[in-house]
């Protein structure tokens, strides 16, 4: 990929590795979960649920990556796990080496906040959705704009289909227009790319915050401000299913993450919970309850762990103490729904989370404009699994 052959021409300007600094992880101080770095003990009341305790002899040191001037909105690893793409409100998507946090370059062309991105399976094509009422295709290696999809309202969520031949793009309600889901065909040759939609679905009232492809590209799963998860048929555009109101979220759904095999997905909501759903039947599988609004969710591809991020809205925090707003990334046992640990560090709400596809590291992006890259200590992988 990018690390073989002649040195690639990454998008300009390329920044030196001084863009990141290594600091000791700040550790949670609650009585039951003291955060990473870790050693494993058993909770006395339940010998199945491990607690994660701070080991002062080892420190999981996050890499702080400062490349954005405004709050982060989204993080995405490529399939190989060697590149990390970040989006923020500063109009400029950025690509980093996922191992050491070195900034490779930026993608310049948007004139508004960039809400979401996705990268093709072969890491050659990047798609971004922006508040400037456009979604753009980019050459990952050169940073060149390949095509712009223009809309009459801000573009929010973007997602490549399996095979990268289609892309789903959502647009926000704006000036009397309702939210909508657009399916675009992605040409193999950028010169052949056209703007026409293969399918346009009229969305619900309120914004659609996330839309992703379901199993085998046969469905699209959407969720947003009205707290309802919907499954759409990609052939006919028909609405196939909505989640049951009784078991669903009570407030805006902010985030959605699929499992590696697409069999289930995780949603996070401002109702201070995250929920695990079956991708085909929309059956609720698990619920994870926390004490802060959830802005971002991610699932480990390696262990039965989910991580939730969020925090009290930055404008509502009345103290500069970062502990007051609950800005930790919280880890939960996927099966038992128990909190098993957490990672501190951000000085504002966490807006984006992503696991490396190898499951050995994760990254978080916050309202503070920083991306924090965490490589797990060996002790993390010794947590007993059910």
Write down how long the chain is: 386
Residue 23: the pLDDT is: 36
The CA–CA distances, whole Å, from 375 to 99, 248, 266, 269, 334 equal 8, 34, 23, 27, 20
pTM over 0.75: yes
3 state DSSP class of 276: strand
* pLDDT for residue 183: 98
Alpha carbon 230 to its chain centroid, in Å, reads 19
**What pLDDT score was predicted for residue 104?**
96
* 24-61+290-386 shares its CATH topology with 69-206: yes
Please name the residues in contact with 302: beta carbons below 8 A apart, sequence gap of 6 or more: 358, 359, 360, 381
CATH no., domain 69-206: 2.130.10.10
Backbone angles phi, psi at 169, to 5 degrees: -135, 130
The sign of the CA dihedral 263, 268, 269, 272 is positive
pLDDT of 315 = 58
pLDDT at 110: 97
Q: Which residues neighbour 199 within 8 Å (Cβ) at sequence distance 6 or greater?
A: 181, 182, 183, 234, 237
Residue 382's pLDDT is 81
234: which DSSP letter? T
| pLDDT, mean of each 10-residue run, the chain (386 residues) | 45 41 34 31 33 43 93 97 97 97 96 98 97 97 97 97 97 93 96 96 92 96 97 96 95 97 96 97 97 96 95 59 67 95 89 97 94 92 72
Which residue(s) pair with 264 in the sheet? 278
Please name which of 97, 119, 103 lies closest in space to residue 19, comparing C-alpha atoms.
103
Q: Where are the domains of the chain?
A: 24-61+290-386, 69-206
Q: What DSSP state is assigned to residue 26?
A: P
pLDDT at 144: 97
Strand-strand pairing, 208-213 and 219-224: antiparallel
125 phi and psi, to 5 degrees? Answer: -125, 135
Q: Determine contact, residues 89/113, Cβ cutoff 8 Å.
A: yes
Q: Which CATH code is given to the segment(s) 24-61+290-386?
A: 2.130.10.10
């Amino acid at each position: 990929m990018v690390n073989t052959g002649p040195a690639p021409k990454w998008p300009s300007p390329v920044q030196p590795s001084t863009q990141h600094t290594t600091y000791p992880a700040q550790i949670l101080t609650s009585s039951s979960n003291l955060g990473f770095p870790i050693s494993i003990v058993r909770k006395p009341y339940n010998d199945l649920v491990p607690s994660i305790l701070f080991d002062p002899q080892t420190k999981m040191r996050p890499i702080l990556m400062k490349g954005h001037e405004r709050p982060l909105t989204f993080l995405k690893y490529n399939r190989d796990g060697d590149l990390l793409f970040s989006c923020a409100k500063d109009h400029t998507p950025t690509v980093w080496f996922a191992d050491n946090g070195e900034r490779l370059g930026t993608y310049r062309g948007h004139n508004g906040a960039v809400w979401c991105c996705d990268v093709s399976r072969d890491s050659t094509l990047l798609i971004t959705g922006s508040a400037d009422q456009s979604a753009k295709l980019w050459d990952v290696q050169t940073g060149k704009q390949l095509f712009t999809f223009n809309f009459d309202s801000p573009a929010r969520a973007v997602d490549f289909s399996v095979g990268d031949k289609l892309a789903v793009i959502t647009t926000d309600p704006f000036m009397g227009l309702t939210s909508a889901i657009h399916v675009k065909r992605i040409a193999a040759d950028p010169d052949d790319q056209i703007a026409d939609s293969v399918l346009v679905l009229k969305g619900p009232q309120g914004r659609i915050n996330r839309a992703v492809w379901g199993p085998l590209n046969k469905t699209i799963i959407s969720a947003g401000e009205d707290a309802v998860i919907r499954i759409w048929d990609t052939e006919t555009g028909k609405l196939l299913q909505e989640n049951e109101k009784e078991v669903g979220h009570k407030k805006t759904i902010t985030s959605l993450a699929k499992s590696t095999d697409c069999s289930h997905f995780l949603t996070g909501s401002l109702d201070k919970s995250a929920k695990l759903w079956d991708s085909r039947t929309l059956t609720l599988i698990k619920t994870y309850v926390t004490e802060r609004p959830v802005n971002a969710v991610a699932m480990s591809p390696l262990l039965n762990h989910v991580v939730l991020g969020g925090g009290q809205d930055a404008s509502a925090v009345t103290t500069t103490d970062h502990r007051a707003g609950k800005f930790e990334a919280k880890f939960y046992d996927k099966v038992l729904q128990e909190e098993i640990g957490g990672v501190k560090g951000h000085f504002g709400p966490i807006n984006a989370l992503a696991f490396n596809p190898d499951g050995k590291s994760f990254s978080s992006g916050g309202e503070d404009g920083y991306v924090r890259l965490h490589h797990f200590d060996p002790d993390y992988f010794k947590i007993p699994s059910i």
